[in-house]
């Protein structure tokens, strides 16, 4: 019989996260203070993040223990299945072996709970009572809502106005987990009130929501801020994806020739590929392919420079690939892939030519997602469709190449069905971000 699912027992779940920082050739550049443009120490960041997470953000230790309280909650859905996509392979007529790691089985339906649970734990341990955050498509908000409830913390979510109106089910999910959620811009912060006055009826943006959540945390003693991607500590928590995958492949004597994932802020992909990185550095033949939308081509067409994480220029400056902090994402449906920047870790691995970045168009992604649903039986999130599309490109380049492909299935799309509806109705179009717009947005990068 063909073995489709490769499962781990609960006691085989990794008990340490892997920190890639010490293994990145030539390292990564430190975050800079947005005012002084000097390297930023932990003191200033401590206003919005707990020390436990700041230590991880700057850690040079390769392995960090996963606290038992976090492991216990991980066990609700972890270890996640690694699945051989036999039916997809057959539909493609390829000799390639395609494996996917299913992170869609988590409580909120994506990989984001791997970090939200850890973040809630370290905040709780340091006496924080309440977390504030922003959410675009709603996936991070739901993940944090679940995790804060588990640790008895309050949670305030600033959700970009347009998603708040278009994705009512994400809102209900967050309410179910007990979070307080408001459309951004909101009357609850000074920055939100100013935007509402200057731009009544605005659809909002992730940048505005970040600014509101940061203001909330900075102005209340009981509250800290939580970010769902980009930062080093988030990627540390996501390393459990790759660590489990490696164990699962070893169980059947397999090893990937290529590891694929979609890149928004970079967390699910880095979490998948970094545990395989040292093998490559030691000479093993393995490729890493990171996929982004052609409409938000941060890694393939952006510049590598210091930039702000938000439009209000409040965040530290990060050295990363960026389309410029005032990049306006077009309304494509992969909401989680519309960030102007990219995690410094993924950026440095692209700089070192260890990750090959590629971009794909949204129509071919939805087509890939539909084929995946019809063959494997799971409807993927629009972000995840990008990884599937890239896996199909690899598997069909030479149908006789028996290579082993591993990709991260970052989340299911059951709360994104309205995007599929638009796709079937022919309302979605391909869009290449214009070169002039990239040139204009990257002209306003901070001068260092």
Ligand X SMILES: *Cc1c(COP(=O)(O)O)cnc(C)c1O
CB of 384 to ligand X, least distance (A): 5
CB of 353 to ligand X, least distance (A): 20
260, 85 contact by CB (below 8 A): no
> Does 309 contact ligand X by CB under 6 A?
no
Compute how many residues bind ligand X; rule: CB under 6 A: 18
Give the x/- contact pattern for ligand X in 322-351, rule: CB under 6 A: --------------xx--------------
**Phi, psi angles (nearest 5°) of residue 38:** -105, 155
Q: Please list the residues that pair with 126 across neighbouring strands.
A: none
Tokens read off for 192: 């939100």
Between 135 and 223, CB nearer to ligand X? 135
> Does 265 contact ligand X by CB under 6 A?
yes
Between 97 and 264, CB nearer to ligand X? 264
> Does 419 contact ligand X by CB under 6 A?
no
User: Contact with ligand X (CB under 6 A): which of 106, 116, 132, 139?
Assistant: 139
Residue with tokens 């401590």: 46
Query: How do strand 258-262 and strand 223-225 relate by DSSP bridges?
Result: unpaired
Q: Is 187 exposed, middle or buried (0-12, 13-18, 19+ CB in 10 A)?
A: exposed
Q: How is 301-338 classified by DSSP, letter by letter?
A: HSEEEEE-SSTT--SPBEEEEES-TT------S-GGG-
Q: Packing angle between helix 113-125 and helix 232-251, nearest 10 degrees? A: 130
CB of 420 to ligand X, least distance (A): 14
Give the x/- contact pattern for ligand X in 96-125, rule: CB under 6 A: --------------x-x-------------
CB of 218 to ligand X, least distance (A): 24
CB of 385 to ligand X, least distance (A): 9
DSSP 201: T
Buried b (16+ CB within 10 A) or exposed e, 258-269: bbbbbbbbbbbb
Peptide bond just before 79 cis, omega within 30 deg: yes
Which range, of 59-67, 126-134, 155-163, 266-274, touches ligand X by CB under 6 A?
266-274
> Does 263 contact ligand X by CB under 6 A?
yes
Which range, of 218-226, 244-252, 262-270, 361-369, touches ligand X by CB under 6 A?
262-270
Near ligand X in 45-104, by CB under 6 A: none
179, 116 contact by CB (below 8 A): no
In the sheet that holds 258-262, the strands lie side by side as 5-6, 82-84, 97-102, 404-409, 258-262, 287-293, 355-360
Give the x/- contact pattern for ligand X in 214-243, rule: CB under 6 A: ---------------x--------------
Q: Please list the residues that pair with 223 across neighbouring strands.
A: 130
Between 195 and 270, CB nearer to ligand X? 270
Between 31 and 271, CB nearer to ligand X? 271
CB of 157 to ligand X, least distance (A): 14
CB of 408 to ligand X, least distance (A): 8
Residues 158 and 133: their CA atoms lie apart, in Å, by 6
DSSP 427: -
> Does 133 contact ligand X by CB under 6 A?
no
User: Contact with ligand X (CB under 6 A): which of 31, 34, 204, 264?
Assistant: 264
Handedness of CA 185, 190, 193, 197 (dihedral sign): negative
Near ligand X in 367-386, by CB under 6 A: 381, 383-384
> Does 297 contact ligand X by CB under 6 A?
no
Between 176 and 444, CB nearer to ligand X? 176
* Contacts with ligand X, residue ranges (CB under 6 A): 110, 112, 139, 229, 262-268, 336-337, 381, 383-384, 410-411
């Amino acid at each position: 019989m063909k073995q489709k699912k490769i499962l781990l027992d609960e006691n085989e779940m990794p008990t340490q996260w892997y920190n890639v920082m010490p293994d990145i050739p030539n390292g990564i550049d430190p975050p800079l203070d947005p005012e002084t443009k000097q390297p930023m120490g932990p003191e200033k960041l401590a206003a919005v993040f707990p020390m436990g997470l700041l230590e991880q953000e700057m850690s040079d230790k390769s392995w960090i223990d996963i606290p038992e309280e976090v492991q216990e909650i991980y066990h609700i859905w972890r270890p996640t299945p690694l699945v051989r996509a036999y039916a997809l392979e057959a539909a493609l007529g390829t000799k390639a072996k395609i494996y996917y790691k299913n992170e869609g089985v988590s409580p909120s339906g994506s990989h984001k709970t791997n970090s939200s649970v850890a973040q809630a734990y370290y905040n709780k341990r340091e006496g924080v009572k309440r977390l504030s955050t922003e959410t675009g498509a709603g996936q991070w908000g739901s993940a944090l809502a679940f995790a804060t409830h588990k640790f008895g913390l309050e949670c305030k979510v600033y959700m970009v106005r347009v998603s708040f109106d278009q994705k009512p089910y994400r809102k209900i999910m967050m309410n179910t987990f007990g979070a307080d959620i408001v459309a951004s811009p909101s009357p609850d912060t000074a920055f939100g009130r100013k935007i509402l006055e200057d731009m009544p009826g605005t659809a909002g943006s992730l940048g505005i929501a970040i600014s509101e959540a940061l203001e909330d945390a900075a102005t209340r003693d009981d509250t800290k801020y939580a970010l769902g991607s980009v930062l080093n500590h988030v990627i540390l928590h996501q390393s459990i994806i790759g660590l489990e995958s490696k164990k699962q492949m070893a169980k059947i004597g397999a090893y990937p020739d290529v590891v694929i994932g979609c890149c928004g802020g970079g967390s699910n992909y880095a979490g998948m590929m970094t545990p395989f990185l040292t093998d490559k550095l030691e000479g093993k033949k393995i490729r890493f392919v990171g996929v982004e939308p052609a409409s938000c081509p941060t890694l393939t067409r952006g510049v590598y420079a210091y930039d702000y994480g938000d439009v209000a220029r409040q965040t530290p400056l990060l050295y990363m690939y960026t389309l410029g902090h005032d990049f306006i994402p077009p309304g494509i449906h992969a909401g989680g892939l519309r960030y102007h920047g990219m995690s410094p870790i993924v950026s440095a691995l692209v700089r070192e030519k260890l990750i090959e970045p590629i971009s794909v168009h949204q129509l071919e992604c939805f087509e890939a997602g539909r084929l995946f649903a019809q063959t494997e039986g799971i409807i993927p999130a629009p972000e995840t469709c990008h990884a599937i599309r890239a896996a199909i490109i690899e598997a069909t380049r030479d149908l006789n190449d028996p290579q082993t492909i591993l990709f991260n299935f970052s989340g299911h799309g059951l709360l994104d069905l309205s995007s599929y509806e638009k796709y079937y109705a022919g309302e979605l179009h391909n869009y290449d971000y214009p070169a002039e717009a990239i040139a204009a947005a990257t002209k306003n990068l901070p001068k260092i």
